[in-house]
Structure 1
Amino acid sequence: MLVVQGIVLGCALGLLMPLSTLALASHWNNLVPLVSMEATGFAFIGAAVYVTIAAVALQVPAWEAMCFASGGVTIGTLGAAAFLTNKCRGHARHSLQYSSKTLQFTQLPSLLFLAGYVAILFGVFSFPVYIVFLCTNSTGSAWPLQPSSMLIVSLACGVVSAPWSASKRIRDSVGPVNAFVIAATVGGVCFYNPGEMPFTTVSWPVSIIYGLCLGVLLTVHLKAISVFHWMSVPVPYHSDMAIRMAVVAAVGGIAAAGGILVTAILIEEGGFDLGMMVPGTSMLAGGVLVGAARYLRGYKQFFMAL
């Protein structure tokens, strides 16, 4: 039953994210990268709310009450969204065909960017998914309320860093790709301390730092794809950029789901130190690869493609 529930829930979440992004983008001339940045902060608020409900209910314990409360929040949110739904004016459809004027993903910077992007997404969710389990089932075992509170604070930090990284000042001064590289590198390093020293005194500051990095990563990851120009063409925006961005994001989503599963297998077979080291190393290596692609591509061939 739990396996079936997981499959159904995963499919629902997989559909909800792109459909909600497209629905929001219809209010901003179908600017998907822009909407993905603006909406991430609210996603972190929702995540913090659900984790808080679970943490409070499981202390009682009240499993059924937690399920009803979480379901009530979901139904209420979707109901409000459905009530506010209104027909908007039409916009031009994005091209879903590759343009004959542009090359495929064959240039070295493009290949490095793709490999780094997938490596970063592979490990990005392992920390928030397993940090509570790590702190409650290891040598530094703690009562579940403390690591749950730690996760809530980490998500709250994401609420702060998400709109900050989406601000015009940061986009102009740092840039989405540079912010993506920095957040991935720092976030990857955050995995090592809890894996080797699974104590709450160590995990608390690391969780705060990782929450800040996660807010940046989930805010700019689509923007980084749209900004990273695959080839040197005179026109700054080419017609097949939308489908290219969608393909890369879909591959990254598959990598993120696979990373959670692989981390579980590694924890089962080799313990928490191995289970945290692999996704952390993957994120760190991904940040280096995207940084190398950024260096090879240079500064003049980057542009803002909202």
Structure 2
Amino acid sequence: MIEITGLKLRNPTILAAGIMGTTAASLVRVAKEGAGAVVTKSIGPQPKEGHKNPSMVNLGYGFLNAMGLPNPSYPDFSAELETAGAKADVPVIASIFGGNSDEFVQVAEGLADAGADAFELNVSCPHAQGYGASIGCDACAVEEITASVSDMTDIPVWVKLTPNVTDIVSIGEAAQRGGADAIVAINTVRGMAIDIHSGYPLLGNRFGGLSGSAVKPVAVKCVYDLYEALDIPVIGVGGISCWEDAVEMMMAGASAVQIGSAVYDGVDVFRSIADGIDSFLADRDLSFDDIIGLAHRRI
């Protein structure tokens, strides 16, 4: 059992936003497969169909996706969130997005009575025009949005950052100033692939976000830098597919880890990673606290 931002998790594995988080049934299924907490699909102020297909491509070493934040909007998602909260038996975090602070507050207020245990602010999606990283590259905007949501709610506020910036630490510091309870790092890395036989981009949106094992070194470095600079917990995400990846991310400074693309190979990945971490700690007579940020103490 671990505690992060006041939430009690049976283990440090969390379902990442946008992966099997579109219905209560899928969130409950992941919880039953061993996840310590689950994050919903990002929910916004208006319904969005998302980008045209192909919207996801398996490159072998990772995935490119350009979903475009498809969602039913908060009025239609409230019932799913409420059901997930009642049945999942683990913390349920609502990922939300908007084009400005007013829209973030609008969505947060719309979901406030649906039972979310925390909000995760998506200021990091790399392929939705006017949302996500379009905002998350601006430290002032991130601080304002974080403060606006933090001021209207009593539940923890997590802020998910984009790696597609020159200095992720400055964005993390802005979120912390705005009242964030935790930072989630990272979202996908902007990327593109082209079919050499036709000359067409593989994604319907032309470019998207790279996830999977290929981005793990980027995520580890971002978590390492944020842990060094911030006074709030950092939740690591990006390329985690086995317990060794999770331990590495925790040694960089992550208090918990989110798992996304690895679900492609089976939802039992949460239990597998949690059990692997437990065995690693038991074999060395260590606790979670002993390994969080360990790499910083090895300098």
Q: Report TM bin, short chain.
A: under 0.3
Point out which structure has higher relative CO (alpha carbons under 8 A, 6+ apart).
1
**TM-score normalised by the chain length of structure 1:** 0.26
Higher helix share: 1
**TM-score normalised by the chain length of structure 2:** 0.27
Higher strand share: 2
